[in-house]
Amino acid sequence: MGVLNTTPDSFFDGGKFNSVKSALQQALLMCQQGADIIDVGGESTRPGAKEVSVSDEIKRVVEVIAAIRQETEVCISIDTSKPEVMLAAVNAGASLVNDVNGLRAYGALEVCADLNVPVCVMHMQGEPRTMQANPVYNDVVDDIKLFFEQRIKSCCDAGIKRENIILDPGFGFGKTLEHNLQLLKRLDEFQIFNLPLLVGLSRKSMLGKILNDDVPENRLFASLAAAVLARTRGANLFRVHDVKATLDALKVCDAINGVQ
């Protein structure tokens, strides 16, 4: 899954793709490099990012989604927590909803059930603006398992098909470095749900903390290491900024895992 932020303030690609032309070019490049999904977002979820109105978010993403849809059949996912944006994006050609808020906004479950598209339900403690203030868990893996259990039930009760659910533990969303490390080390425990597992580790600050490097541009090799480790622990989908590099790393990982 290639990341395509149409935002001015995302932590890595903010401001790079805020014209339809540049966003389309980047989408096509990521497709050429092997992306199966392009994840289009119109609101940054990094800690401290500004809130965006429904109409501004729709304006940012709909034109881009329509332009990608005209040029390629790649699966487009919409990265949003707002039901109105989910609806507008799917009408414009998106076919997957990626919600960092786990479909907890009023109306989100119902809209996704009606749209009948796959949904990525991500775990986040708190909300983007304040989530890193003081995240606390009893046991981060067990607590997220419980969250998934409850969200899967809510999804199914609302009419979302179980086979349309993708789970994501939400690296960096209301988690300390120690929580993120525990999550990556024990990622295989989420296989109990028998659902696809998506991870977003690409260039995140947890890697910067390990490297003692504040600059996201310097985190490619760390991102690849994290992706490979996640793969060995059962991750199926990878939300990344660097499609070709990640795919190459995962191909090596899969080849070695496939040897008898």
Q: Which residues are catalytic?
A: 204, 239
Give the DSSP H or E segment for 149: helix 140-158
- Among 26, 45, 164, 246, the residue binding ligand 9MG under the rule CB under 6 A is 45
Which residue of the chain is nearest ligand 9MG when measured via CB?
200
Query: Where would I find the beta strands (DSSP E) of the chain?
Result: 2-5, 37-41, 75-79, 96-99, 119-122, 165-168, 198-199, 237-238
Per the CB < 8 A criterion, the answer to whether 235 and 254 are in contact is: no
CB atoms within 10 A of CB 195: 18
**Residues touching ligand 9MG: how many (CB under 6 A)?**
13
Given the rule CB under 6 A, which of 20-28, 81-89, 132-140, 166-174 is the region that contacts ligand 9MG?
Answer: 166-174
Q: How far is CA 60 from the centre of its chain?
A: 18
Q: Check residue 246 for interaction with ligand 9MG (CB under 6 A).
A: no
CB of 256 to ligand 9MG, least distance (A): 25
- The count of residues in the chain is 260
Residue appearing with tokens 């059930």: 113
CB of 199 to ligand 9MG, least distance (A): 7
Q: Check residue 170 for interaction with ligand 9MG (CB under 6 A).
A: yes
Q: Check residue 47 for interaction with ligand 9MG (CB under 6 A).
A: no
Closest C-alpha among 113, 118, 55 to residue 82: 55
- Among 239, 241, 242, 250, the residue binding ligand 9MG under the rule CB under 6 A is 239
The Cα 145–Cα 133 span in angstroms is 22
Pattern 91-110, ligand 9MG, x by CB under 6 A: -------x-x----------
Given the rule CB under 6 A, which of 15-23, 148-156, 164-172, 174-182 is the region that contacts ligand 9MG?
Answer: 164-172
Residue appearing with tokens 């304006």: 59
Q: Check residue 174 for interaction with ligand 9MG (CB under 6 A).
A: no
